[in-house]
Amino acid sequence: MVSSDPSIWIMAFFTIAITSLAFRDNPLAKIAEHAFLAAQAGHYVTMAWRNINKIGLEPLSKGSIIMLIPMLFGVALYTRYSKKYIWVSRYPTAMMVGIGTGVTVRGFVEFQFTQQIIDTFKPLNSFNNIFFVFAVVICLLYFVFSLTPQNPSIQKPLSYISTVGRYLMMFALGAAMANTLTQRVGQYAGRIMFLLYDWLGLG
């Protein structure tokens, strides 16, 4: 039985309007697209306000003066819109980049280098293990761009190896493409579920 709830109808309208964007650009799709950009920006402001309030303003009002620093730095971000004082916004930006880069890069050596190398120490006693170790080595050779031996006698075999590496990676990219398509089917099927079950009341 088709739903009688007006908000379900609004939701169905927006779902169909955005989907129509794939068929042809039309005014409905434009209305939906503009509504999306605006609603998302408004939602960011709402969620940002909660964080600023709870972690910044309240402790500050309760007397922890130290919170004055992040709050002032946060306000300083908005000097980006003044021609004269745009340089002031570099201070909060520099701090954010420092924190972000430091937090991410500090773990990278163990996370994406040593632990990955340790796990590639596979006993060369089975086809899969031998294939695995040499696939990693060959693909890694493909990514060596400057420190390559100069004398031509080595360069020839090296170029064959990096071609094999390219085939191995195109193989993996083919699988990744299929998985990407599958994920998008799974995501969009969620919208079909809404239209069928909540809107049209079928199934």
**What sign for the dihedral angle of Cα 13, 17, 23, 24?**
positive
Alpha-carbon distances, residue 187 vs 4, 47, 94, 154, 194 (angstroms): 26, 25, 37, 49, 12
- Window 132 to 151, contacts with other proteins (CB under 8 A): 132-133, 135-148
Site string for other proteins, 150-179 (x = CB under 8 A): ---------------xxxxxxxxxxxxxxx
* CB-nearer residue toward other proteins: 65 or 170: 170
- Window 43 to 62, contacts with other proteins (CB under 8 A): 43-52, 54-56, 58-59
Other residues' Cβ atoms within 10 Å of the Cβ of residue 48: 11
DSSP, res 85:
T
- Window 12 to 41, contacts with other proteins (CB under 8 A): 12, 14-15, 18-19, 21-25, 30-41
CB of 97: closest distance to other proteins in angstroms?
5
Element (H, E) at 16: helix 6-23
Q: How far apart are CA 74 and CA 64, in angstroms?
A: 17
Contact 76, 91 (CB under 8 A): yes
CB of 21: closest distance to other proteins in angstroms?
6
Residue type, 95: M
Other residues' Cβ atoms within 10 Å of the Cβ of residue 183: 10
Q: Is 198 in the site for other proteins (CB under 8 A)?
A: no
CB of 159: closest distance to other proteins in angstroms?
9
- Window 73 to 112, contacts with other proteins (CB under 8 A): 73-75, 77-78, 80-81, 86-87, 90-112
* CB-nearer residue toward other proteins: 2 or 25: 25
- Window 178 to 197, contacts with other proteins (CB under 8 A): 178-194, 196
Q: Is 123 in the site for other proteins (CB under 8 A)?
A: yes
DSSP, res 27:
H
